[in-house]
Amino acid sequence: MERRRLQGSIQSRYISMSVWTSPRRLVLAGQSLLKDEALAIAALELLPRELFPPLFTAAFDGRCSQTLKAMVQAWPFTCLPLGVLMKGQQLHLETFKAVLDGLDVLLAQEVRPRRWKLEVLDLRKNSHQDFWTVWSGNRASLYSFPEPEAAQPMRKKRKVDSLSTEAEQPFTPIEVLVDLSLKEGACDELFSYLMEKVKRQKNVLHLCCKKLKIFAMPMQNIKMILKMLQLDSIEDLEVTCTWKLPTLAKFSPYLGQMINLRRLLLSHIHASASISAEKEEQYIAQFTSQFLSLQCLQAVYVDSLFFLRGRLDQLLRHVMNPLETLSVTNCRLSEGDVMHLSQSPNVGQLSVLSLSGVMLTDISPEPLQALLERASATLQDLDFDECGIMDDQLLVLLPSLSHCTQLMTLSFCGNPISISVLENLLHHLIGLSNLTHVLYPVPLESYEDVHGTLHLGRLAYLHARLKELLCELGRPSMVWLSANPCPHCGDRTFYDPEPILCPCFMPN
């Protein structure tokens, strides 16, 4: 009876405070309530929902494990964005365990508690940034935070049918959202504890990951983690490992299960001298066939794939929908590959195209011309850096470039182009109203000798000529920068017209 009286007193006090008082006072009220942790836990059933966030924040900062455990069970919102609170601090293991233990209690129940709405525990550190600030006093209105009420219609229906069934909400699994970077030594105690929880309760606790990055980690460890993940939750995947083809083949079946994948980055797949040509073809087919399942794929980035020469069409024909981004960099391609690329049904809606580091010197420019025409209505960013494009090839491409009406940035550094062809290029691009930045190579006339020694005076003069031409043609605000690899470190040195030096030239 005494506990009920205290609960009623707390309810009356905080309901009136939540309606008429600033968020800052709600925070102070939560801190005050935590002075009696047992009473705070007992009062959760009747506590107004607007007091939950400040009370949870205070309990989290104060490492009040029992209160946190109880609050998770009574959480009145569909999402608990814990990751934002974890950002920028060393999370106490016992605090994290308390939150997961609160989920354990819920998952052990056959029906949900009356007030429980929790569907998602979000451990990502860069999502739901506004949730906690709404209640911290930094926002003017308590009611500015949108709250999804997906279960509300069903709950109202139950209320009409029978008041007694309001507490009996059907059970659905809880999602735990994470962003993962898998690399050697990255699995700390917190992650290991989470994985153990998921392993024991995989049917009711779903580990979801929208962004997954895989670095250097043994394949057996990667497979163990992938088996714990809801692979259809992955939308963004980066694999930057130095794998050989057999390792990629082991990973391929997991890739095929990522049916909602939108962005894929894959780099540094090397040859394996120990396998036969027949086995190599089998592994490649096993990898490329997975793209048939990736029907949400919009962006593909592949870099340094040894096997791509002569097989680009094999990959593209398994991509089932138009791509928005295609980046094939530092790969060897044949003329047939470029021909297939220009004819692929997947490239007609590209907004980003990069062939940086793909040697095109000995490839006919006509397929590239056709490719640019195919994407001319949508292409916004084009990168032909370090492709070995010569004057005569670029001249063939100029009309197609002038048709790319949406183009915003063009980069073709590291190609041996003369100043006369650059001026010709400028005349073709001047009518593209969206084009704001062009990064062009140091003109051939700027070199003193065959060893690549730059004459900075000549370069400044030639750059000034282009700037003057831009002004004459009415586009003085279009940015044209020339760039050249630094002879010391290989990074780009920019010239506008004086060199913008890389750190090699900076004083210590």
pLDDT tens per residue across span 145-172: 445 433 333 333 333 333 333 445 556 7
What is the reported pLDDT for 28?
61
What is the reported pLDDT for 363?
95
Q: Would you say residue 406 has pLDDT above 80? A: yes
Nearest to 61 by CA among 36, 95, 84: 95
Q: What is the pLDDT of residues 439-449, one digit of tens each?
A: 999 899 988 87
Cα–Cα distance between 301 and 306 in angstroms, integer?
14
Q: Would you say residue 26 has pLDDT above 60? A: no
Q: Which two tokens stand for residue 170?
A: 């059907």
Three-state SS across 199-268? HHCCCCEEEEEEEEEECCCCHHHHHHHHHHECHHHCCEEEEEEEEEHHHHHHHHHHHHCCCCCCEEEEEE
Q: Would you say residue 426 has pLDDT above 70? A: yes
Q: Binning pLDDT at 50, 70 and 90, where does residue 284 land?
A: very high
Query: 477 and 490 in contact (C-beta within 8 Å)?
Result: no
DSSP, collapsed to helix, strand or coil, labels residue 97 as: helix
Q: Would you say residue 12 has pLDDT above 70? A: no
Query: 89 and 61 in contact (C-beta within 8 Å)?
Result: no
Q: Which two tokens stand for residue 221?
A: 């460890």
Q: Would you say residue 380 has pLDDT above 70? A: yes
Q: What is the pLDDT of residues 461-497, one digit of tens each?
A: 888 899 999 999 999 989 888 877 666 666 666 666 5
Mean of pLDDT values over 354-379: 97
Mean of pLDDT values over 3-28: 52
Q: What is the pLDDT of residues 249-273, one digit of tens each?
A: 999 999 999 999 999 999 999 988 8
Q: Binning pLDDT at 50, 70 and 90, where does residue 109 land?
A: confident
Q: Would you say residue 14 has pLDDT above 70? A: no
Please report, for the chain, how many H helices and E strands are present, in that order.
19, 15
Report DSSP letters for 16-54, one per residue: HHHHHS-HHHHHHHHHHHTTSHHHHHHHTTTS-GGGHHH
Q: Binning pLDDT at 50, 70 and 90, where does residue 25 land?
A: low
Q: What is the pLDDT of residues 47-94, one digit of tens each?
A: 787 888 888 888 888 888 888 998 888 888 899 999 888 866 666 788
Q: Binning pLDDT at 50, 70 and 90, where does residue 20 land?
A: very low
Q: Which two tokens stand for residue 451?
A: 């060893």
Cα–Cα distance between 237 and 258 in angstroms, integer?
9
Query: Which range is least confidently modeled, 12-16, 338-342, 353-357?
Result: 12-16
Query: Which range is least confidently modeled, 15-19, 351-355, 368-372?
Result: 15-19
What is the reported pLDDT for 155?
35
| pTM, to two decimals | 0.85
What is the reported pLDDT for 456?
81
Q: Which two tokens stand for residue 441?
A: 């190579």
What is the reported pLDDT for 167?
47
Cα–Cα distance between 130 and 9 in angstroms, integer?
31
Nearest to 56 by CA among 42, 46, 70, 35: 70
3-state helix, strand, coil in the chain (%, to 5): 45, 15, 40
Mean of pLDDT values over 447-452: 79
Residues 366, 372, 377: CA angle, nearest 5 degrees: 150
Q: Who wins on pLDDT, 25 or 414?
A: 414
What is the reported pLDDT for 157?
35
The proportion of the chain whose per-residue pLDDT surpasses 70, expressed as a percent, equals 77
Q: What is the pLDDT of residues 187-239, one digit of tens each?
A: 678 888 899 989 988 888 999 999 999 988 889 999 999 999 999 999 999 99
Q: Who wins on pLDDT, 105 or 374?
A: 374
Q: Would you say residue 401 has pLDDT above 60? A: yes
Mean of pLDDT values over 98-114: 80
